[in-house]
A and B are shown apart, each in its own frame.
Chain A
Amino acid sequence: MALYLVKRLAAAAVTAILASLIVFVLVRSVPGDVVAQMLGQTSDPTAERALREFFGLDRPMYRQYLNWLSSVLAGDLGVSWTRGHPVWQMIRDALFVTLQVGFMTLLVGTLVGVPLGVIAGIYEGRWLDRFIQSFNLIGLAAPVFWVGLMLLVGVSSLFGWSPPLLYVPPSQSLSENLAILALPIVSLGLLQAAAYSQFVRQNVVSAFHQDYVRTAIAKGVPTRIVFFRHILRNIGIPLVTFMGLILIQILGGTVIIESLFALPGLGRLLLSSIEARDYPVLQGGLLVVVLIAMTVNLAVDLLYRVIDPRVRLT
């Protein structure tokens, strides 16, 4: 096991370097750069040359990559070319917002979705199950930004209320923080509840069809005990890994919600740095997102291996 872990970590390190290369190449392939943005409609070749030199854009591509990589490995993500703030600070603040949205959405989704899924699974085939499944499917099919937009405008017209505009962390003012996040979490959360509900339902249904469960029921064990002893335990782990995957989705998937609800999260940061061609922020941000996603994947993978020793592919 230990050897396997070391091998996996080594492979992960190599993949991380590969990730940095892919991120760099992708970012630099987008035409236009920050100098063009800064100079705007004025064109002065000397000014342009001076600015490019200032940003190091005149050096050969591989040099720029190696410089960036070496500072990243030393722990320095650089400074934003347009804002002047340190990149790490910007990413950290934005990540906090995105993760807060992500976790609270996860919470809402779980609190609403899991019970619904369990009920649907237990009453498989009956009217209640079909009703819940319809809700699930509609939730899965609805475009997130459309739901969010309708909610924002609907709440404003009906109740004369709209969220406060400036994000404050919960440590500063919990009520304000919740007020800002209410609408985005409700829209995302309901849609996620649909996904969880469907997932849980599938698992509950297939668990009920297992031989040992049917045997237990046939022997007369009350359904309630069967449910809590066997079924819940079995869906616990798949659910956790499923949530891990959803978490990754959240990291990138919040771009639209953040754009709609004016949240200063990572998605919006990446979007605005693409527009501004702010390479340090864009490269750093993308690298962080990719590495987090890869770490979660690795963790999920390892978890599977720990749980199920039968799975031993090279």
Chain B
Amino acid sequence: MLDATWLKRLGRRMAASLFCLATFAGSYAAHAQDLYGPLAKSPRTGGTLTMGSLLEPPGLDPFHQGADARIRVTVLMYQGLFYESPNGDATPLLAESYTLSPNKLDYTIKLRKGVKFHTGQTMTAKDVAYSYNHIRDPKNGSPGAGDFGMVTAVTVVDDHTVKITLSEPNVTLPLTLGNKYGAVIPAGYFDAPDAKTKLNQVSVGTGPFKLAEFKPNSNLLLARNADYWEKGAPYLDQINFIFLPNSASMLVALTNKRVDLAALTRPQDVRQVERVPGLKIERWPSLNQKALDLGSEYGPLSNVGVRQAIALAVDKDEIMRASIGGFGQTIGTMVAAMQDRWGVPVTDLPNQKLDIVKAKKLLADAGHPNGLDLNLTTIIGYDWMDPAAVTLREQLAKAGIRLNIQRIDLGVWIKNFQSKQMGLTFNDWATQPDPSLLFYRHFHMTPKGADFRNWKNEAASKLLGDGRAESDPAKRKEIYARFQKELATTVPTIMLFSADHVTVRSDKVQNYVQHPTGWFYGLARTYLAQ
């Protein structure tokens, strides 16, 4: 672990990863039409894949899932009308095609035929209408209700056609009809009183796998859906997710081939299995961001000068190296996997470069000539936040800002978040591949958006509204470019970096492509070589 060799290896790794990124970016483009991942040329069907996971889904109800990182598995059992293609297109999934009315308010969607639920019954428009009406009614308690706010009606046209009516034009509707919240389930399912919790034992979706067994603190077993509508898929007979309590157990399990595949939540753990023979390590771009949020309701942060000063004192690269060993990319105002299509080049954004002198001046102008004290909140269980916090503390100290680190429980953090009392905190969240889905709810003023950071920026809100309705891609890109500049100028949040998804697999695992959302779509196209 001496400096020179370590750095050299790091350099070589980065070059290798860039190469990987390039090839994968290419393959994403080539296989944009392949659902869930590239079709395998000569797959071998059968077998059980054992996958190690540090995160256990708190539940398997696609209608009541909040925490981002835990949705990963449900997408294999439940499907919405569209699939979030890695490049940002909404590819028809349970839908077959759709037409948009001239006034852009009515989507008429033709449904795929011959789709069966895990219960055996065939899917019709009635089921689709029931499912989406269930999500969008807030009384049913689905966190997705907010995203469907612009939908006024979901109606059955005939057995294989539904119509969705909006209150105003919104080009993100197809992606919203994707797999993040909810899915298509049999009509009337939630009428039974124990329906919600029963989903943890029996699945009722249309996806390539069904739920075989879910043992808390132990494992989650999925079995192939023999009636799946796409012939020939999936390849595996079973997938067994084993919940491991910590990285040490995971790495030991990988080294001794107790698990075949693992998605490392701490990318730097990769270094501990690098030299193990028979293991392949792969890095994938992600739609995830680690950010520093600055809630304007928190005393000194109400002054934009203070927020800008903080931005000028942050060294994103150093934080990234400290928290994930550099296995990611620093970002400006756009997540890494969407930078090419939507992101403003970092060099064109203000407040991105270190400038301690200017930071101090801004603080003085804001009334803090002798620096100031701030509380930084981090979340227990999010490993990257601890080294990031101590590194940030050292960095801000140079500008005269003294940070007091407070680690809090996730439940408490969520409460603060929901009541818009975030203060100065680290955040970790992922998006679907569309800028409106990324920005609108978080940054648009109330009542249309949630504006969690109390930014209250009218100009930005107008841009977000326009961007959501604009269908011309070039014009959309320009609108979001202006929005990103506003974001970088008045700093309601500092987007630090996107951590790569790092997967480790044994030789026999073939054709697993990690989706940039972090969800395990790719398992539907994975097979085991002999």
Binding site for B on A (CB under 8 A): 31-33, 36-44, 46-48, 50-51, 54, 79-85, 90, 94, 149, 152-153, 156, 160-162, 164-167, 258-262, 264, 268-269, 272, 275-277
Contacts and interface: CB of A to CB of B under 8 A. Distances in A.
Contact of A152 (B249, B409, B452): B249
B71 to A, nearest CB: 10
A239 B58 CA distance: 43
B143 A156 contact: no
Interface in B250-270: 252-253, 255-256, 258-259
Nearest to B255: A156
A197 to B, nearest CB: 30
Contact of A36 (B201, B216, B414): B414
10 contacts: A31-B412, A39-B64, A40-B68, A82-B59, A83-B200, A84-B194, A84-B201, A152-B252, A162-B258, A272-B56
Interface string B401-437: 0000000011110110111000000000100000000
Interface string B225-246: 0000000000000001011111
B335 to A, nearest CB: 15
Contacts of A40: 65-68, 143, 414
A48 B141 contact: yes
B249 A46 contact: no
Contacts of A83: 59, 197, 200, 214, 216
A54 B59 CA distance: 16
Contacts of B216: 80, 83, 85, 90, 264, 269, 272
A51 B450 contact: no
A268 B217 contact: yes
B188 interface: no
B248 A149 contact: yes
A87 to B, nearest CB: 11
Contact of A46 (B138, B215, B248): B138
Contacts of B252: 152-153, 156, 162
Contacts of A262: 242-245, 249
B142 interface: yes
B259 to A, nearest CB: 7
A272 B217 contact: yes
A80 B214 CA distance: 13
A36 B255 CA distance: 37
Nearest to A43: B418
B66 A38 contact: yes
Given A79-B197, A82-B58, A32 B214 contact: no
Contacts of B419: 43
Given A36-B411, A160-B256, 13 more contacts: A36-B418, A37-B410, A38-B58, A42-B66, A42-B143, A46-B145, A48-B141, A54-B196, A90-B216, A149-B248, A165-B219, A262-B244, A276-B58
A82 B61 CA distance: 9
A262 B253 CA distance: 11
A261 B67 CA distance: 26
A159 to B, nearest CB: 9
B249 A50 contact: no
A173 B418 CA distance: 48
B271 interface: no
A153 B250 CA distance: 11
B65 A31 contact: no
A47 B135 CA distance: 10
Contacts of B259: 165
A47 B200 contact: no
Interface string B135-170: 000111111111000000000000000000000000
Given A162-B258, A166-B219, A38 B56 contact: no
Contacts of B140: 47, 50
Nearest to B276: A160
A37 B256 contact: no
A184 B431 CA distance: 40
Contact of A165 (B200, B244, B248, B414): B244
Nearest to B193: A54
Contacts of B217: 94, 264, 268-269, 272
Contacts of B139: 46, 50
A40 B58 CA distance: 11
A84 B214 CA distance: 10
B410 A259 contact: no
Contacts of A85: 200-201, 216
Given A83-B59, A166-B219, A32 B249 contact: no
A258 B198 CA distance: 27
A130 B201 CA distance: 57
Nearest to A278: B58
Nearest to B259: A165
Contacts of B201: 84-85
Contacts of B144: 42
A54 B68 contact: no
B199 interface: yes
Given A31-B411, A31-B412, A44-B145, A38 B248 contact: no
A233 B141 CA distance: 65
- Between A39, A152, A264, A275, the greatest number of chain B beta carbons within 10 A of the residue's beta carbon is seen for A39
